[in-house]
Chains A and B, each alone.
Chain A
Amino acid sequence: MSIAASDQAEQSILEAIRGALFDEMARDERVMVLGMDVGQLGGVFRVTRGLMEKFGPERVVDTPLAEGAIVGASLGLAIGGMVPVAEVQFLGFTHQAFHQIGPQLARYRFRSRGRFHAQVTIRAPFGGGVRTPEFHPDAIEAQFSQEPGIKIVCPAFPDDAKGLLLEAIRDPDPVLYLEPQRLYRSVRGQVPPGDHTVPFGTSRTVREGKDVLLVAWSAAVHLCLAAAEELSKGGIEASVLDLRTLVPLDVAGLIAAVEKTSKVVVVHEAPLTGGFGAEIVATIQEEAFGSLDAPIRRVASRDTPYPPGSMEDHFLPTVRRIVAAARTTVEF
């Protein structure tokens, strides 16, 4: 396994994240990585493998098992001049750190009237499809969108994984950087070498099609791509828009994509009710009602607690459900 992977041409998402961490820690000595099992073990997914050997135990720190303290201490570290990249082992574990993320980290610039800011990145894997136990797959990104002050970033490809992570670490404001655990090793792609950043609030069209627009982020983007292939066999050409960041949201890019197809399906892994898809749909109808030719449909997880891994196919959005929703929309 290559360690300093950032000069490699084709990489997995995991390698792209690891490479970005290596590059940024080498570039900026204030950057440190902290979290449970991130040092000696290199993280439960081995994302941070090799960092402790290279940068030492002062900058790559195995912390006690306490998500609230990991995040809260990161805020203090940032105030003290460090640039923490905290790992919360799974996004579902941020339930126990929510009060430190939303009301504290996100609001500290505001509360201090700009005297202090929190240059903190929280990395957290999330998402289903890998048969993990409860809490490990929870897709609770929308909850954080109700906490102004923090940005929410969700790459789906290796190049974006690198570009968005470098952007996140350098951002003077806190960023929740969500890693699609299902895709860590399975999605590979070209990663630009060197100093590659992707500005927040820029969506990306990852497939062009004239008949219907599929809007998604993180792992759901790949479900949409698979659904688009399926639809194509039946003569329906779908566009797939990867939002890349939820906060800030690329409203202009979203509306431009909607105007090209006039028919939209929004897909996400979070449960339907109150999911960020609702925000997307509301935004589209406010900004582009006139260009819609059909009601917007949502394909999301069911409004149930996350079931055991063996049952998750009944819960999560599937290619089949996306194809069905897209057909209904196109045929409206």
Chain B
Amino acid sequence: MSSAQVVDALRLMLLSRAVDDRLIKLQRMGRVGVYGPVHGQEAAVIGSAMALDPNRDWIVPASREHPAMLRHGLPLKNMFATYMGNFDAAAVPEGVRLLPRQQAIGAQLPHATGLAWALKLRRTGGVVAVYFGEGASSEGDFHEASNLAGVMRVPLVMLLINNHYAISTPLHRQTAAVNLAARAEGYGFPGFVVDGNDLLAVYSTTVDAVNRALAGEGPTLIECRTYRMGFHNTSDNPKEYRDSAEVDEAEQRDPIERVRRFATREGIWSAGQEAAALDEIRSEIETAQRQVEALPKPGAAAIFEHVYETLPPRLQQQKSEAMDDARPR
């Protein structure tokens, strides 16, 4: 990673943490439904995303990879719209190589395999990077998608963000395996374990996997070992199932602090730069939030849009009923 990339990554990490804080605050004020913070996983998500070329590669996210999505071209405004109840404004813009967030655990994995397969068939170049958690690795979709990816030798980078908790279920209840990367061997491709709180290690491991995929050597599984420092989402209270000592210990390995120390030591980051970056970030967040707040709320008709390309007669009728119901009287 070049110095400039380290600075970009650190800035993105700070943005991610600030977005977490803002959306949690908005949720507590009743203006956001549910939000799952990235807190603690920034190095794993951003280090891997930095290894991708937004003009060539695709990202297939799970649901906690906002900084990767932003880096790949999703506007911050669209991300805020996702959580502030405006699904049309949340859409991935045309031309951005990014699939929507996936709420069904692991269901995005076969999509990623298929998309990577299409890149191979159409000889467009590029790779697909798919994110998922250690919980998803227990799903059948993980096995089916990995197996198919191995057989078809598709250009796929599988980023297993092992944050040690699936809501309340700890890693040792999720698997008896010593590591999850070893599963790759069973599918006929390599797997690596990497310190997911080490930005540079995640980056270089992902770069290698991308290069393998681009060279036609097929998929790679990367298990990024990290820790979910925050809650699963704003409806969750981790104090009910994990020790605060464990979280305190994780704080010592805060991925942002590690990059900050590294960059400062390298002479490419300073307290002054950080203060300036945080000011910019605050204003970007302010702008994104205001833009979403200024949007009209989607009306009843919106739920009938994009069900099919052409609305069948039965749905046309339901649409006019719903619009009539929604009319103030």
Contact = CB atoms under 8 A, between A and B. Distances in A.
B110 interface: yes
Contacts of A73: 110-111, 113-114, 117, 145, 148
B110 A110 contact: no
Contacts of A151: 308
Interface centre among A68, A111, A172, A247 (most CB of B within 10 A): A68
A103 interface: yes
Interface residues of B, number: 41
Contacts of B148: 63-64, 66, 69, 73
Nearest to A84: B114
B112 A76 contact: yes
A104 B309 contact: no
Interface in B125-170: 128, 140-141, 144-145, 147-148, 151
B134 to A, nearest CB: 20
Contacts of B104: 99, 103-104
A249 to B, nearest CB: 6
B23 interface: no
A109 B99 CA distance: 11
B313 A248 contact: yes
Interface stretch (A114-122, A130-138, A176-184, A307-315): A114-122
A58 interface: yes
B309 A99 contact: no
Contacts of A68: 110, 140-141, 144
Contacts of A251: 313-314
B95 to A, nearest CB: 10
A76 to B, nearest CB: 2
A81 B121 CA distance: 10
Contacts of B308: 109, 149, 151, 173
B94 interface: yes
A112 interface: yes
A80 interface: yes
B307 A79 contact: no
Given A249-B314, A251-B313, A81 B107 contact: no
A82 interface: yes
A79 B111 contact: yes
A64 B87 CA distance: 36
B302 to A, nearest CB: 9
Interface in A266-311: none
A148 interface: yes
Contacts of B93: 115
10 contacts: A66-B144, A73-B111, A76-B111, A76-B115, A77-B121, A96-B140, A104-B104, A112-B91, A115-B94, A117-B309
User: Considering the complex of A and B, which 8 residue pairs feature the smallest CB-CB distances, nearest first?
Assistant: A80-B118, A76-B114, A72-B110, A73-B114, A69-B144, A248-B312, A76-B115, A113-B91
Interface of A: 32, 58, 63-64, 66, 68-69, 71-82, 84, 96, 99-100, 103-104, 109-117, 148-149, 151, 172-173, 201, 247-249, 251-252
Given A78-B114, A100-B141, 20 more contacts: A69-B141, A69-B144, A72-B110, A72-B145, A73-B113, A77-B117, A81-B118, A82-B121, A82-B122, A99-B104, A99-B107, A100-B107, A109-B308, A109-B309, A117-B309, A148-B307, A149-B308, A173-B308, A248-B314, A252-B313
